[in-house]
Amino acid sequence: MKKGNTKPVLTGASLGLSGGLILFFSELLAIYAHTEIDVRTYVFFLLLFLVTGTLGGALLGIFLNFLRNKFSSTKIVAENANFFPASFLASIYFLYGFYYINQILTPGMGMVQPVSLAANLLFAIFILVMFLVASGYPSSSKGAVRTFVESSLLPLGLLVALNVRLFIWQPPQTQTRELFFGVLGFGLAGVLGILISRTAAKLLANRPAFSLIFNGVLTLFALYAFSLSGPPSASSFQIHPPANLTMMHPPNPKNVIWIVMDTARRDQISAYGGEPDRTPKIDAFAEGALVMNRAISSAPWTIPSHASMFTGMFPSKHGADRNVPGGKFTNPLVSENLTIAEILQSYGYDTACMAANVAGLSRNFGFDQGFNYYFDARPIAYYLLFGRVLVSLPQKFKANLLRLNEISLSSEINGIVFDWLKQRNPDVPFFLFINYMEPHDGVEYIPEPFYSMSGFKKSEYDRVMENLDQTKVVHFQQEVTPEQQEMFVKLLARRVYFLDYHIGKLLNKLREMELFDEALIIITSDHGDLNGEHHSFGHNTDLYNELIWVPLMVRYPGASKVGFSDQAVQNIDIMPEILNCLGIEIPQEVQGQPFEEVNHDIIAELFEQKKAQALLNPERYYRDLRAIYTKVNDDTLKYIWCSNGHDEMFDMLTDQNELNNIVPLKPEVVKHLEKRLDDWLKSFKPIGSDESGKMKFTKEVEERLRSLGYLK
């Protein structure tokens, strides 16, 4: 290295080091306050910020020195000692702002959209102004590091405080208006911060002690402003109930806590005869609960299944599903539907939903109806400020470099639930709906000791799965080996155990708060998952038992009903069961029934999958399915009608794994069941449909679909 280069490299590196430290502590505060993240993540962030800050600063030093030599006649560069800190500051703001605008505020839009272009332009202008102001900042005798710290502290503090309000606790779907406010606030904070600190520095010139106190006070102010923003449960996800609501008083106002373990299969729960000791907390809960042995979901994926739970109706009736006749793409749960949250809200209940499955349960799909509080954001760690910029790069090369999920873990959801429980009015009964997501794809990184449970090693997993080609499997050209099957189970068992542990924590919290005994508590799942059974993966594609036969246990106030029940029920029956228990009348439109009265057909539906897994094997998956479990004469049968003619029928007494299609053996029964499904479908009209049965879209729904990009 040439001698003339040493000073700028050192200067740049120390600037970067200071910057890295400031960033790290801002981020640390953000995540420490609100999440349960293991120590290694903190250490990783510290190193990441310091290393990238130091290296980046040094590189910037070399680059700027090069510029200085090249354009030594340029006014700004030649004379100004503040050029380094100003550049560094500007580049930090630029990097972060650019990333935020293009990745987070306008996800998937990139830079081509006019609104995004305008946002970027506005942002660039602010950066330029900031740079010019900062580089004209009067130099102090202590040199560049101090100048940098002085010029960055206040705007950074303001930026952090501003971000909390404008960005971090915002729901994931950001609107255009918010985008502009974000950019505007961002730029304004920067310019304002530099102007203020510049004026302050003039006043404090040659008074280092005052300068130190001044900066100290500013830092404290910024941190205080930041902490005032509070956790997300404080206000940001609060939804205000309609003002004209007339409150009624429920005859039996018990608290209701409804837990959905998204994508949990029945055989993952030890109480149902799965591997022993996989779910000790849930098993203990089951001992004081009514355990439904034959609970069938109305659909094999999140949106229609949750809509069925919320409305007590089948997908064909509530309409929140893919390609329902007359519908387009995935329909939201239209506001004409009456949900359990709306009913309980009208009875004066405080209603809250905390959903880890933000893709399915986004408020944009209309699931927030009736909730006073609706949490559908990504984990806090996902919203790290500078961290996201720095993390996204190495993650492109090594996905598991940082063990952060884009989906909230049950530990994080619990944090929000506990906050909410603490701040609620204890005199008002509540309805709390919680969706946990560990069993679902995408939650790969759980903290230790859970991650390495049963000796799980990622390298071993990769080795066993190396030759598994899912495309071949779904085309019946490859079988999933027993070793691979075992690996699937092992992979999942750790996550289910982690979930079980945190469900245990929630139940303990309820006991601690003396809310457990008298509450109505439901634990269930929305659907299951396939690991190569039936030559299929994931959910969304079939109606086999692995996908729709779900765990369902209900703990009644005072544990008034316990034991196993073989009564066949569905997820549409949970809502009427709750209303019945609270002494509230069940609305006429509801198709489900209280458990003891269930005499409706047990039916599940799936509408054609043009996207999702169907891409793997369109010939197989481009079809609608409808399944009915029934008794015909002495048989207990399950018939799956298929729109492309590949009907299947299985004997549920001898073939619960559905390997033996008996359609050819019983043509008469098939005909009878097909007609029964037909008659059932004709017996009702979709909610929110017009006379011809077509879905009509209200303005609000169209707006929703448009915001999701479904309508142009």
Q: Which stretch binds Zn ion (CB under 5 A): 27-35, 70-78, 261-269, 595-603?
A: 261-269
> What's the CA gap between 463 and 461, in Å, rounded?
5
- CA distances in angstroms from 532 to 71, 437, 480, 546, 614, listed in the order given: 64, 21, 6, 11, 15
> What's the CA gap between 19 and 22, in Å, rounded?
5
CB closer to Zn ion, 572 vs 579: 572
Q: Which stretch binds Zn ion (CB under 5 A): 9-17, 156-164, 256-264, 361-369?
A: 256-264
CB closer to Zn ion, 350 vs 526: 526
Q: Which residues pair with 520 in a beta bridge?
A: 256
> What's the CA gap between 95 and 103, in Å, rounded?
12
> What's the CA gap between 699 and 159, in Å, rounded?
37
Smallest distance from Zn ion to CB 361, Å:
9
CB closer to Zn ion, 368 vs 529: 529
Smallest distance from Zn ion to CB 360, Å:
6
Number of residues that bind Zn ion (CB under 5 A): 3
Cβ–Cβ < 8 Å for 42, 28: yes
CB closer to Zn ion, 342 vs 526: 526
Q: Which stretch binds Zn ion (CB under 5 A): 64-72, 297-305, 372-380, 501-509?
A: 297-305
Q: Contact between 140 and Zn ion (CB under 5 A)?
A: no
CB closer to Zn ion, 309 vs 515: 309
Smallest distance from Zn ion to CB 305, Å:
6
CB closer to Zn ion, 41 vs 545: 545
CB closer to Zn ion, 233 vs 302: 302
Q: Which stretch binds Zn ion (CB under 5 A): 150-158, 259-267, 495-503, 582-590?
A: 259-267
Closest CA to 624 of 359, 318, 361, 315: 315
Beta-carbon contacts of 136 under 8 Å, excluding residues fewer than 6 positions away, are 80, 82
Dihedral sign of CA atoms 595, 597, 602, 608 in order = negative
Dihedral sign of CA atoms 15, 16, 21, 22 in order = positive
3-class DSSP assignment, residue 695: strand
Burial (0-12, 13-18, 19+ Cβ within 10 Å), 710: middle
What's at 651, amino acid-wise? D
Among 262, 368, 412, 648, which residue interacts with Zn ion (rule: CB under 5 A)? Answer: 262
Q: Which residue has the tokens 């402003």?
A: 225
| Residue closest to Zn ion when measured from CB atoms | 302
> What's the CA gap between 666 and 671, in Å, rounded?
9
Smallest distance from Zn ion to CB 592, Å:
19
Q: Which stretch binds Zn ion (CB under 5 A): 115-123, 284-292, 523-531, 568-576?
A: 523-531
Smallest distance from Zn ion to CB 519, Å:
24
Smallest distance from Zn ion to CB 143, Å:
57
CB closer to Zn ion, 34 vs 363: 363
Beta-carbon contacts of 391 under 8 Å, excluding residues fewer than 6 positions away, are 48, 384, 401, 402, 404
Among 135, 151, 302, 570, which residue interacts with Zn ion (rule: CB under 5 A)? Answer: 302
Q: Which residues pair with 351 in a beta bridge?
A: 431
- Please report, as residue ranges, which positions from 606 to 645 form the binding site for Zn ion (by CB under 5 A): none
Smallest distance from Zn ion to CB 407, Å:
11
CB closer to Zn ion, 215 vs 308: 308
DSSP assigned state of 689: B
Q: What is the DSSP secondary-structure string of 270-316?
A: GGGTSSTTS-HHHHHHHTTSEEEEEEE-SSSSHHHHHHHHHHSS-HH
Q: Which stretch binds Zn ion (CB under 5 A): 260-268, 574-582, 592-600, 704-712?
A: 260-268
> What's the CA gap between 650 and 653, in Å, rounded?
9
Crossing angle for the helix pair 208-228 and 144-163, to the nearest 10 degrees = 20
Smallest distance from Zn ion to CB 263, Å:
5
Smallest distance from Zn ion to CB 433, Å:
14
> What's the CA gap between 371 and 378, in Å, rounded?
19
Q: Which stretch binds Zn ion (CB under 5 A): 300-308, 515-523, 624-632, 697-705?
A: 300-308
Q: Which stretch binds Zn ion (CB under 5 A): 113-121, 294-302, 347-355, 692-700?
A: 294-302
CB closer to Zn ion, 27 vs 526: 526
Element (H, E) at 474: helix 470-474
Cβ–Cβ < 8 Å for 95, 41: no
Smallest distance from Zn ion to CB 338, Å:
22
Smallest distance from Zn ion to CB 108, Å:
22
**The tokens of 36 are what?**
């349960």
Smallest distance from Zn ion to CB 357, Å:
6
Q: Which stretch binds Zn ion (CB under 5 A): 18-26, 230-238, 295-303, 372-380?
A: 295-303
> What's the CA gap between 352 and 371, in Å, rounded?
5
Q: Contact between 526 and Zn ion (CB under 5 A)?
A: yes
Smallest distance from Zn ion to CB 303, Å:
8
> Which chain residues interact with Zn ion by CB under 5 A?
262, 302, 526
